[in-house]
Amino acid sequence: MIERYSITSSVKDIRERFSVDVPDFYKPHYNAAPTQLLPVITAGSKGVSVFYWGIPPDWAKNKAVSEKIINIKVESLQEKSSLRNAMFKKRCVILADGFYAWKKIGKKTMIPHRFVMEDKQPFSFAGVWEDFEDNAGEENHTFMMLTVPAQNVVSPVTDRMPLIFTKESEKIWLDEKSDEGTLSNQLINKPIAGLTCYTVSPRISTSTLDVPSLIIPTPPADQHGNLTLFD
C-alpha cells in the first residue's frame, strides 16, 4: 500500500507541466497523507482541484463506505463493476513529484525511501474520485490512487507502487471522450523510465509532519532513527 507521497513543485512548474490553472490556495506537500486535501485534475477540467485523499472527515455521512480506501489495485477494476464504473465516469490524475515506501529489513525495522524522477519534474498518478455529503448537506470529494505491482527500482523496496502516467496516457485518461478500450490500455503496467530513489528520514512516518527537510536524502535509519548498514 502507498500511504505517502509528495507534491512540492512550484506553481510555475505545475502550470507548465500540466497546462492548467493553479488556485491561489495551492501549497506544497512534503508528506502528503490520507485525510489531507491534495491537488488533483479531474477529467475534462482545465484547473487544479483539491480533494480529500481516501478517508472523508469524521462528519461525512457515507464515511463507513469510503473509510480507509486510499489505494485501488488496477487488477480490481477488472473484477468489481462499481470500481470499473468509477474509472469511466470519475477519473482524475494526482499531482506528484515523488512517493514513499518502506523497505522491511527485519521483524521491526523498516527503512523509508523516496522515489522521484531523475529530472526532478512533477508527474502524475492515475486516480478515481467520488463525492460525499457532510452533515450540513454540503458536497465534498475524495480520491483514490490506482496501484500496480512494483517494478524497476521500486520492487526491491515494496510490492506495490502508484500507476505513473506518461504525458500521453495522462492526456487520454483526462479526455472525457476516451472509450473503454482506450482507457483500459492506459492501465497496463509499463516500465517507468527515469525513476530513481534514495533513503529519507524516518520522520516521514509521522503523518502530521510536513516540512521541507523530509525530502532531504538521509543515511538509512530505522523508525527509531538508528542508523543501519542495510539499504
Contact 132, 56 (CB under 8 A): yes
* pLDDT given for residue 228 in this prediction: 56
Measure CA 204 to chain center: 15
Residue for grid cell 507502487: 161
* pLDDT given for residue 108 in this prediction: 76
What residue type is assigned to position 114 of the chain? R
User: In this structure, what C-alpha cell is assigned to residue 214?
Assistant: 523530509
Cα distances (Å, whole numbers) of residue 186 to 5, 15, 171: 21, 23, 10
Nearest of 49, 192, 73, 89 to residue 144 by alpha carbon: 73
Domain residue limits, the chain: 5-97+120-189
pLDDT averaged per 10 residues, the chain (length 231): 96 95 93 95 94 74 62 83 73 97 86 95 94 78 94 94 96 93 89 93 94 93 56 46
- For the entire predicted model, the pTM comes to 0.89
Domain 5-97+120-189: CATH architecture, name and number where available: Alpha-Beta Complex (3.90)
Q: CA-CA distance, 231 to 221, in Å (whole number)?
A: 9
